Amino acid sequence: MHDIIEKNLNKSIELEVRAGKLITVYKSTIHSILPNKLIVTNPLENQKTALIKHGTGLKLVILEENILFTFDAQAERPHFKGKLSLLTLNLQEREEQTQKRDSYRVPTEQFPINVKIPSRTGAIVSNGVCIELSEGGMMSNIDQRLPSGGIVGISFKLPEDPHLYDIMGEAKRVVQVSHRNKTEYRTGFNFYTIPAKVRDNIVKYVFRQQQNLIRSGLMLGTQKK
């Protein structure tokens, strides 16, 4: 079993299920590890157990030290342990993929954002929150699905910063995220060229947030060699 999976036992992970062009992301937790299999908590969708059919192919997604690990898996039939609904995943032999981000992105305090989508009848506004931020872009949860590659305007205020920032960006990755009682769209944005002062303020915020996470034990610091 890959050591990344073992390190994330009893921790939060994501399951990506694709149906045609639609990708749905579910929150789950690794419950136990077996040879070539994982037992995870069966995710919820609209306060009900998500229907992931036997034989469904999916991806197990783990974020570890700023690197995104994905593992191909196949779902077996769900079962119960007491009142806990569990799902068995058969891990495929295909080697995991890793994706390292260009800019160091850190979890944020989930501040609100407004996304303006140009249209022939005027801008459509989608509301949401930023969940991760770097000097080059952000990851957000918003209330509308955007086309991948779409150009938008993003407005937000950083925590404890009175300035309103308006930045042009491009939607790069859009997936549907099912929570207990609602559906959102996790959307990654790449920022276009932004003023140096704005970039400096974002970098300062990201650095402060990183230090706060290190002090609280939620992120590992860089070790000196």
* Average pLDDT value for residue range 45-51: 73
pLDDT tens-place string over residues 14-25: 888 877 666 777
Check: CB of residue 70 under 8 Å from CB of residue 58: no
Q: What is the rounded distance in angstroms from the CA atom of residue 221 to the CA atom of residue 204?
A: 17
CA angle 141, 144, 147 (to 5 degrees): 100
Q: What pLDDT does residue 91 have?
A: 87
More confident residue, 64 or 57: 57
pLDDT tens-place string over residues 58-86: 888 887 655 667 888 899 888 888 878 88
pTM for the model stands at: 0.60
Burial group, residue 202, by CB count within 10 angstroms (0-12, 13-18, 19+):
buried
pLDDT tens-place string over residues 96-138: 555 445 556 777 888 999 999 887 777 788 999 998 899 899 9
CA distance readout (Å), 52 to 16, 37, 199:
11, 16, 42
Half-sphere exposure of 122 (CA within 13 A, CB side): 1
Domains, the chain, ranges and CATH? 3-100 (2.30.110.10), 106-215 (2.40.10.220)
Q: What pLDDT does residue 104 have?
A: 61
Q: In sequence order, which residues have a C-beta less than 8 Å from that of residue 223 and are 6 or more positions away?
A: none
State which H helix or E strand residue 222 sits in.
none
CA angle 131, 156, 146 (to 5 degrees): 65
Average pLDDT, the chain: 81
- pLDDT at residue 201 tops 90: yes
Check: CB of residue 208 under 8 Å from CB of residue 73: no
Check: CB of residue 169 under 8 Å from CB of residue 202: no
